[in-house]
Chain A
């Protein structure tokens, strides 16, 4: 096939060495530094067309008519499709509820909703043709927050709900609601010497991965389609795409192409169905690449939230109770909102022991942009609020904020508000102790050279707004609790295929899974696992595609655990088969074949005493072992819809941060000087990747603390800043040094004792920075991101 660098080339023939625990380098590293790695936007096919999406310019409107004649008549245009052209009965899709139309029908529910798609021979032709499509919109009133969405007579975002939560929610504009009641919060409140409460606001954050939504759909001769795309979960995409195309799943063949970051933003479909529809209609390969503006409309964002919290504590510093109400704005379509609600409620107390709680979390349907998965998934918003509350309590008791947290820190054995016992190490106090014990970065670093102030180290940086006058320092702490893997009874399995054979006189293992490598380094640790289990140097990681069983999503910090676990498990079975072959061939020559514990090491079969029995090359000569197996972690349970009780989570991950900031109090500018982290990773399979994940997650938390927010006009529900000019993510100048302290307390239930890593550092980073800014300025600051006007009172 004439695609440039088809994904087949991506990870083949990894020549890296090293088993688990080593900082083995990425097998795709060389391709990535030479520009040869084929990302989804690099796919190319002779004779291909370019697709473009026409999106709604209004948030909520009836579509009176769509006129595509002029667009279709444009030279170079091959197809213009609207809802009426959809080929199958099924015309909607969705992760949890099928509430999202492939193309708008009858009305649009949010700014940027796809209405029509165009295929043309040049991307600019497609864009210009799309601009010629005439749509007659009749504006409808918008609902944008809880008050407007649940007011009497409020317009319903979805008039006809048929999802499984529809009956359980108090209003049709509520996607899902999860109360959790445990103990007697009202009674316990009476024992409190100090009660603090607060209302907190968390802004809408964007994943802002750099590689745009993109891919190539190639029509097949059998009437099916091949799709090369960047996604987080091939099989979930497939399950949603095939019915809309009216094709059986085996006629939609999906291959992962290079993914330029994801962070939750690729869990939902973006251009997948559109590209396939255009390819099937025109009979030609169709490539779609969103530009940055469209990318902001093409994926869901992190739920903005309003949170009300009340905590009490005794004079001795013990928490008495917690009450909270968390309202998440899910926007126009459900996406992952129900699961986000489950996380926000069940993790709303954070890593603390509180027995008496009264919790409610819910997600709204509004006409705002749809929100769904993003790194930290519901736990982030809660952490922002409960950590602010911890500082307030400590202040109310005149205690050190770290000491106060330590007094209430969860430990192994503590119950979550859902009644679930935490049955693995929970080193919350230790993580806090470690970040606190770290030496402070020197004061007034901008003067370190002893000469004129280096403005680059000051708030405002090169804009030269201060030379240090009016700059004050603050320090803040935070710690967070995140679940790992999919919760609430979800069948969270993964599949691995492993083959072992002799190639060119060397034993070689080939690992094939459908795991989406999105940059996190899964391909590296998967090879490390195979090397460790099978004792071979040479491991080939095959490209991820739908010819192998599902690996589940690259989300929820779960892939090293679940797909890593699947590879480990399959390798163990392959090893047994290899030993069987060995026994049949050589068993008669040495009694140890029958009696000893046998291992595969350095290309040999050895006894646990270290005696070499045979070379793998000789054992496998002329034979190969090839197995594909599914693997599951311990099952979880759904939360009770009234009480929230249930063993809903698989595993937990903990991180603590200490932030040191300097604030220019005159201009309201913040410089984060240092963000120290301590995290328990259970077992670091690849220490270098572990650091990269922790530092990257920390930086995203820093972003939402001081700059990142999608601004939606509260009157029109239109997005105001869909560009990297106006939606700011941290640059290298905004990001401080991030020293990392890694703890490895094994979780005995997990493969190798490992813990999911990727999300926890995103939780506590934000509240630590906020706490530091409060500490520097004395301001209350109950919203994130903090903007200069919040600091200067203007």
Chain B
């Protein structure tokens, strides 16, 4: 069968798709977008998380045919997506979730993690590259800076999940972050640096507002 859908803002057409193929397979093997990872292919690890019409889903559990006419964002499109969202004023790039903060105070009063705490990792000594790589989204940059990437296989899924959470909840508490990321397994990091990264991205975002 043929499937037409939008990936990272670009219309795509996949031909000869076998009816059992997952969205993950089509992205990785037919579209040349291997960024979404294939760690379990059974909906347990979150490594394949993409946004389908704005909502995070496990691409391995979505049949390719289900995405006909719909809109997919993968880790490869995350930086663009975040930039467009920023241009629109904050939240809900697709207009479906959240709303732009009217008074520019998002992320101040209810912030569960203080800026100071979020940036504490810097006391451990960072290097000079913070700020380089300007074409990354804030969450991508924060993962690098906080040391949240080891083997990196969980990273694309975590980034998509975390970015969506920060869109809904710009100042999450630690418990909120843990709850939001609980569907994404990481075997390398022990999650501590991943928490640091999300706190850091949230803090930088609230600073920028």
Contacts and interface: CB of A to CB of B under 8 A. Distances in A.
A519 B128 contact: no
A775 interface: no
Nearest to B157: A210
Interface in B23-37: 28-29, 32-37
A591 B20 CA distance: 77
B190 A733 contact: no
Interface residues on A, range: 35 or more
A519 B150 contact: yes
Given A519-B151, A732-B178, A210 B33 contact: no
Nearest to B45: A724
B153 to A, nearest CB: 3
Contact of B179 (A23, A30, A289, A733): A733
Nearest to A291: B41
B75 A35 contact: yes
A687 B193 CA distance: 13
B59 interface: no
B40 A292 contact: yes
B38 interface: yes
Interface string A370-403: 0000000000000000000000000000000000
A688 B147 contact: yes
B182 A259 contact: no
B187 A261 contact: yes
**Interface SS of chain B: helix, strand, loop or mixed?**
loop
A466 interface: no
Contacts of A37: 152
Contact of B125 (A211, A457, A687, A694): A687
A291 B41 CA distance: 7
A419 interface: no
A28 B184 CA distance: 21
Interface string A691-718: 1101111111000000000000000000
Contacts of A12: none
Interface string A263-303: 10000000000000000000000000101100000000000
A210 B189 CA distance: 12
A577 B25 CA distance: 52
Contact of A737 (B74, B121, B156, B192): B192
Nearest to A28: B152
Contact of B159 (A33, A462, A521): A33
A28 B149 CA distance: 9
Q: Which of B33, B36, B129 has the most CB of A within 10 A?
A: B129
Question: Among A35, A37, A39, which residue has the most Cβ atoms of chain B within 10 A?
Answer: A35
A724 B42 contact: yes
Q: What secondary structure prevails in chain A residues at the interface with B?
A: loop
A34 B35 contact: yes
Contacts of A33: 75, 136, 140-141, 143-144, 149, 152, 155-156, 159
What class of interface size applies to chain B in its complex with A?
Answer: 35 or more
Contacts of B121: 688
Given A210-B186, A729-B187, A732-B184, A35 B124 contact: no
Nearest to A694: B190
A126 interface: no
B127 A18 contact: yes
Could you say which of B29, B141, B143, B187 has the most chain A C-beta atoms within 10 Å of its C-beta? Answer: B187
Contact of B38 (A26, A41, A124, A738): A41
Contact of B149 (A29, A518, A699): A29
Contacts of A212: 38-39
A30 B37 contact: no
Contact of B192 (A36, A124, A291, A738): A738
Contacts of B177: 732
B46 to A, nearest CB: 9
Contacts of B140: 33-34
Q: 7 shortest A-B CB distances, which residue pairs? A: A35-B35, A519-B151, A695-B190, A260-B153, A32-B152, A724-B44, A42-B34
Interface of A: 4-5, 15-18, 22-26, 28-30, 32-39, 41-42, 44, 122, 124, 207-212, 258-261, 263, 289, 291-292, 454, 456-457, 462, 518-521, 687-689, 691-692, 694-700, 723-725, 729, 731-733, 735, 737-738
21 contacts: A4-B32, A15-B132, A23-B147, A33-B141, A33-B152, A33-B159, A34-B136, A35-B35, A41-B37, A42-B28, A209-B187, A211-B153, A518-B151, A519-B153, A695-B189, A697-B190, A723-B42, A724-B185, A732-B184, A732-B186, A733-B182
